[in-house]
Amino acid sequence: MEAASYEIPRIPAAAGALIFDAAGRLLVLKPTYKAAWTIPGGQIEVDGETPWEACRREAREESGVEIDTAWLACVDFLRPREGRPGGMRFLFDCGVLDAEKLRRVEVQAEEIAEYRFVPVAEALELLSGPLRRRVRAAIGARKCQYLEDGRPVSGVRS
């Protein structure tokens, strides 16, 4: 009898960090490789890196900020579309970081053109599509939010 062959599905995943200063402003980054602003974050490495490890690594690489604690604020499933693989996005709320940590902000010049700490309302204007909706859902939430394509899902309580 011949064994059935199948391929285990692969879903791309990324993790991002919400980092605030004492005034409640959000750290946003202007990437060199796309038009819209973003937050520190990026793809989870295929070597077994966890979403939390990716969040911390990407924050350190892109902004020079060391993250010690956070809570999982949002999980978003993005459906594949033509030219885009979709995948899972994990968003961690890293809270207000002390001034000493934030003085060490130094962007990764190859990927990040500049950074700003901006009020949340302004950040939402700078961010695009699902990221904007993800950040909006996570800010002020008391529990982890589950989204699909950046939107709440009927029947899922957060």
pLDDT in tens, 22-80: 999 999 999 999 889 999 999 999 999 999 999 999 999 999 999 999 999 999 999 99
End-to-end CA distance of the chain: 47
Q: Which residues pair with 92 in a beta bridge?
A: 17, 72
Question: What letter represents residue 75's amino acid?
Answer: V
Residue, of 34 and 137, whose pLDDT is higher: 137
Q: What confidence tier does 3 reach under pLDDT thresholds 50, 70, 90?
A: low
Residue 72 lies in a domain: yes
Residue 1 lies in a domain: no
Residue, of 151 and 10, whose pLDDT is higher: 151
Q: Which domain holds residue 120?
A: 13-152
Residue 110 lies in a domain: yes
Residue 65 lies in a domain: yes
Q: Which of 4-8, 29-33, 78-82, 147-151 comes out lowest in average pLDDT?
A: 4-8
- Mean pLDDT over residues 114-138, rounded? 95
User: Which tokens is 5 given?
Assistant: 């062959």
Residue, of 2 and 67, whose pLDDT is higher: 67
- The CATH number of the domain where 75 resides is what? 3.90.79.10
Phi, psi of 84 (to 5 degrees): -135, 130
Q: How high is the pLDDT of residue 57?
A: 98
Residue 116 lies in a domain: yes
- For residue 9, pLDDT over 80 is answered with no
User: How is 64-125 classified by DSSP, letter by letter?
Assistant: -PPP---EEEEEEEE--BTTB--EEEEEEEEEEPPHHHHTT----TTTEEEEEEE-HHHHHH
Residue 92 lies in a domain: yes
Residue 75 lies in a domain: yes
pLDDT digits (tens, 9 = 90+) for 65-114: 999 999 999 999 999 999 888 999 999 999 999 998 888 899 988 999 99
Number of separate domains in the chain: 1
Residue 90 lies in a domain: yes
Residues 97, 21: contact at Cβ < 8 Å? yes
Task: Say which residues have a Cβ less than 8 Å from residue 67's Cβ, sequence separation at least 6.
Answer: 17, 19, 55, 56, 59, 60, 92, 94, 97
